[in-house]
Chain A
Amino acid sequence: MSQIFPIDTVGHDSDVVFDNIGMTFGTKTGVTQAVANVSGVIPEGKFVSVIGPSGCGKSTLLDMVGGLLKPTKGTVSINGETVTGPRRDTAMVFQEDSTLHWRTVLDNVAFGLEVKGVPKADRYESARRMIELVGLSGFEDHRPGQLSGGMKQRVAIARALAMEPRVLLMDEPFGALDQQTRQFIGRELLRIWEKTRNRVLFITHDIQEAVYLSDEVWVMSARPSVVKEVVTIDLPRPRPEGTHTLPRFRELEDHLWELVKVEAEKTLGPGARLA
């Protein structure tokens, strides 16, 4: 059901490859080793989730793939090219609201393409398609201030999708939403992803969400972090609504919970809950 991740895995050229990456922050009070050593591959067309205790370096890992942070050790490569900065074929969705409040939904979704220099007619056409895909049709001319938290995150997802990224990076995108909304948007995301099948690196602290969405779940250890275990989610796709109640789903969930509990206790002491 799970395997210890082979550290010497070599990916194909089209994959996202982590090659012994580490990140150490220099701070006023000294140094913080956030990520100790992560190696791994996100193969073409796979949805990979990362879970781990709060502060273990999940966001740091994602930012290194997105080119926002340069690893202090090792390299990340995409399609055989080392990541040295933000790439045009990756797109990010953040936990916080990142909509531009002075722009309409349409202009928010088109923002990435606008920056890329895509002509207006073309970028609006893509943006309208993505708005429909995330279920926001009819809201093109609304501003973020008129939308709920869940709708704003859909705007952010649509903006990322409109850029047609080959790698989609999502940092707890549903973290600020209530349970019902996050389950609903999770299903929507899966429905959309079934069509695009780009590689996804999805950070979450919700185990159920990770199992439901992913092909693989990487469990990170407490800081300084390594990938402790890679759990393959062998549930069939597409995954309809009742998937959560399958015995296999429960098994995977319990297994991940055990792994994560050990790490959470390391950081927070016995009896601690996952952040």
Chain B
Amino acid sequence: MKVIEKSPTVQERRKAALVPRASLVRWAIIVAIVAVLEFTTRTGMVSQSLMVPPSEILIRLAEIVPTDRFGQDVARTLTTILVSFTIGLVLGVPLGIFLWRVPAAGRILEPFIVTGYAMPTLLFYPVLLAVMGLNAGPIIVIAASMSLIPIALTTMVALNAIKPILHKLANSVSASPRQYYLKVLFPAATPLIFPGVKLGFIYAVIGTVAMEFILASQGVGFRAGFYYRELNTADMWAYIAVVIVLSVLVNGVLTWLEKRIRRDML
């Protein structure tokens, strides 16, 4: 029998050759945007009450970052995100399994879940604040419930997408339910669940920062909102820049993780 090893196609090679150029272009775009912002704000084409020149944001950041308060804000925001996401994961995956195992429940509950997805959950924030007080609690409730929905839905979809032949195989070798879950179902579903987990994390970030922005006592989002209301545009943008950097970092880590999982599992 001829041994056929998949070698990269011409297209794949061309794509690979494009990668360094693509990231170069991406950096060029970022530099161009910053340059345009710098120019338009300095010349007064954009009012300094809306946006300050990026160079000034950098200077403000250099002053803000070393302060204790900044460290506390970042720590608070990151822990809130992590706690929310962890709750989303711990509740979302079993919920997804339940919706898959009990299709009738899936059919009944799906509209609620999809509505929860579409609904501006933040409307419940004032109620939660009244009940739980001004602390991380209400933010975690909102961010966690935003986070668990995509996780639960993709878990259900991923499990439904598993080929019946894998069930048949597990059955034919007399796998126990535990072995079936651990050795077949989860590994088979993980690459499909991962995009949902990633989305869940992003929702946790959005939920946390947005609620902090509305009302909180600490956190990066709170600080951006605070300076917004104080009309302190430079500091507001400094904190927005922090949020952007955090998001890019987190997304980078998740993308790297996803690639690894795909490489090891596909």
Contacts and interface: CB of A to CB of B under 8 A. Distances in A.
Contacts of A94: 165, 168-169
A259 B171 CA distance: 35
A86 B179 CA distance: 15
Nearest to A163: B173
Contacts of B6: 146
A67 B174 CA distance: 10
Contacts of A185: 1
Contact of B173 (A115, A145, A184): A115
A135 interface: yes
B68 interface: no
Contacts of A114: 183
Contacts of A68: 168, 171-172
Q: Chain B: interface secondary structure?
A: helix
Interface stretch (A2-10, A28-36, A98-106): A98-106
Contacts of B176: 115
A146 to B, nearest CB: 6
B28 interface: no
Nearest to A134: B1
A139 B6 CA distance: 13
Interface in A89-127: 90-92, 94, 96-98, 100-103, 111-112, 114-116
A244 B5 CA distance: 31
A150 interface: yes
Contact of A86 (B1, B173, B266): B173
Contacts of B264: 102
A102 B188 contact: yes
A101 B265 contact: yes
A116 B183 CA distance: 13
Contacts, number: 70
Given A98-B165, A100-B166, A146-B5, A111 B173 contact: yes
Interface in B152-177: 163, 165-166, 168-176
Nearest to B174: A86
Given A98-B165, A102-B187, A112 B171 contact: no
B4 A148 contact: yes
Interface residues of A, number: 35
Interface in A150-190: 150-151, 163, 181, 184-185
A100 B172 contact: no
Contacts of B1: 135, 150-151, 181, 184-185
A92 B176 CA distance: 17
B82 interface: no
A101 B266 contact: yes
A232 B173 CA distance: 31
A92 B165 CA distance: 12
Contacts of B175: 115
Contacts of A116: 173-174
A92 B169 CA distance: 8
Contact of B172 (A86, A103, A150, A151): A86
A115 B187 CA distance: 15
Contacts of B172: 66-68, 86, 90-92
Interface of A: 66-68, 85-88, 90-92, 94, 96-98, 100-103, 111-112, 114-116, 135, 139, 143, 145-146, 148, 150-151, 163, 181, 184-185
26 contacts: A66-B172, A67-B172, A68-B171, A86-B173, A91-B172, A92-B168, A92-B172, A94-B169, A98-B166, A100-B166, A100-B188, A101-B265, A101-B266, A111-B173, A114-B183, A115-B170, A115-B173, A115-B175, A116-B173, A135-B1, A143-B266, A145-B266, A146-B6, A148-B4, A184-B1, A185-B1
Given A86-B171, A88-B174, 5 more contacts: A68-B172, A97-B165, A102-B187, A114-B183, A146-B5
- 6 closest Cβ contacts across the A-B interface? A102-B265, A92-B172, A112-B173, A86-B174, A98-B169, A96-B165
